[in-house]
Chains A and B, each alone.
Chain A
């Protein structure tokens, strides 16, 4: 893997943010907030964490615009496909569909199942003494699902230390803020109580995300949950922290504004707290 400087990775993240806005504008459909919020995590994973045979399961499939864009930048398919998101016969279906894009780990969208699938993969890897790691990205909203907690127990019971979950803790879901819909806090304590190791990072600090993933590699007792605090809509001022942008496409004017804002970031994303 070619190593990139943090500056270079931030530049890539900026390009991916622009892609995401353009893709959703073109499709007239999509989930901009979660997609923009997870760009830095995806860049960290694809450019500095995932090794050859590692697996990445995207449980909250609705943020696939960000996944698709990072995959195209990483060379999985031609960049031109991005702007056929959700079109008939496109390899980039509206939610990730492995039949159309076999390089995906799973077909996903319905929430709450990805951790269980990733746990199944990690369980087999250990059975067969394979050294790869399994990563899974989950949303905070999908923590409402029972299936997810069944899998949390399963991974904890089996001490799946070859499994790392990155939780997109952006505090929004479709109807409202997560803490209004169904409070999740204290989230870290919940995972600790289920025999997981927990790390918390600024999900917009690529270096922190990479370091946490490396740290998780060295935890041999438990599966690790990395709670990545992110700002939904990150990079576009009027989308940030606004649940209305969970599942809404921008119009032409809004997209123009958004792209301009992303460009003027000069490749820099401010940390979570600012």
Chain B
């Protein structure tokens, strides 16, 4: 059953569940953070409307800096501003930032741990018709590997908003990835959200598999949970909204409970959520495990649902993998 302590939306499994943009969650959170703290400045690389930095820009034009289509400059100017005492949010598409400016992020933000927040919008396959050049499927890996960097992948509008407010108050560098499309708002204002603390979404007396998911794939995992439950297979769904620092304790505890793991993410299999989870488990409690992710391939144009199907990121793929790890566990 669903974890009642998390106060989910009453419409969680209903057809008319509200759909909203995580980007709006970021934009609204940023506006609120800007009202609370004058040190916050926002930099844009010519994408303020699609990153939703425009809400902040309209309200605080004097704290909004347009750098043009120049992602290397975006983060290095921000580094200087953070050095001076500001809290800069750098906004662009994930493929360009951190895609194009990785070394600048590493050198001018990572090493000295400046509190610059890098927000990569339009990440993942869901960007759809834009095609392969714009589908960032490597950004979690790129950011996770930099010491001092924290990595957040929210799973709905409200999480994106809460994450934005929390990272604004934390004097550390952050990367947050956001998808393009609208997604179900399955949490509520009351759902807890703590950076570095995974949310255990379901409970069971006799769970067979633990599913770790992030981003848009969390809701997909919940749909899989429901169908599996109907068929007598109980699973624990865990939302890993913070990829780094990873909530290792929760990962280990709930893996020990089931002895079988499936991870799912809208990212390359190398270096993402699945990698992070297996790095922890291989040291502490190795079990049968499936990593649902893009398997070392590039994307292409198409509707998000067509692409999720092609690259194995659907409810059906989760169900298949759950059955696979159960079989492996039992042999």
Contacts and interface: CB of A to CB of B under 8 A. Distances in A.
A127 interface: yes
B150 interface: no
B83 A106 contact: yes
Interface residues of A, number: 29
Given A107-B108, A109-B107, A118 B67 contact: no
Nearest to B83: A121
B273 to A, nearest CB: 29
A150 B73 contact: yes
Contacts of B35: none
A17 B36 CA distance: 51
Interface string B61-78: 011010110101100111
Interface in A101-120: 105-110, 112-113, 116-120
B312 interface: no
A208 interface: no
B279 interface: no
B103 interface: yes
Contact of A110 (B41, B70, B85, B107): B107
B83 A117 contact: yes
Contact of B81 (A97, A106, A123, A153): A123
A106 B84 contact: no
A150 B80 contact: no
B83 A120 contact: yes
Nearest to A125: B84
Given A107-B108, A107-B111, A124-B86, A147 B76 contact: yes
B44 interface: no
A121 B68 contact: no
Given A99-B111, A109-B107, A123-B65, A151 B73 contact: yes
Contacts of A125: 84
A98 interface: yes
Contact of A154 (B63, B77, B85, B111): B77
B76 A117 contact: yes
A119 B107 contact: no
Given A98-B112, A154-B67, A113 B107 contact: yes
A118 B80 contact: yes
A112 B65 CA distance: 20
B80 A119 contact: yes
Interface in B99-127: 103-104, 107-108, 111-112
A121 B81 CA distance: 5
Question: Secondary structure at chain B's binding surface: helix, strand, loop or mixed?
Answer: helix
Interface string B44-65: 0000000000000000001101
Contacts of B82: 120
Contact of B70 (A107, A121, A123, A150): A150
B79 interface: yes
Given A106-B83, A121-B83, A124-B86, A116 B77 contact: yes
A146 interface: yes
Interface string A145-178: 0110011011000000000000000000000000
Nearest to A110: B107
A196 B245 CA distance: 44
Contacts of B79: 106, 113, 116-117, 120
Contacts of A124: 41, 80-81, 84-86
Contact of A127 (B62, B72, B104): B62
Given A125-B84, A127-B62, A154-B67, A117 B73 contact: no
Nearest to A158: B65
Interface in B24-56: 41
A111 B41 CA distance: 25
A150 B43 CA distance: 14
28 contacts: A98-B112, A106-B112, A107-B108, A108-B107, A112-B72, A113-B72, A116-B73, A116-B76, A116-B77, A117-B79, A117-B108, A119-B77, A119-B80, A120-B78, A120-B80, A121-B81, A123-B77, A123-B80, A123-B81, A124-B80, A127-B62, A147-B72, A147-B73, A150-B68, A150-B72, A151-B76, A153-B68, A154-B68
The 9 closest A-B pairs by CB, nearest first: A120-B80, A116-B76, A150-B73, A150-B70, A117-B80, A147-B72, A120-B77, A124-B84, A120-B81
Given A120-B78, A124-B81, 10 more contacts: A57-B80, A99-B111, A107-B111, A116-B79, A117-B77, A117-B108, A120-B81, A147-B104, A153-B70, A154-B77
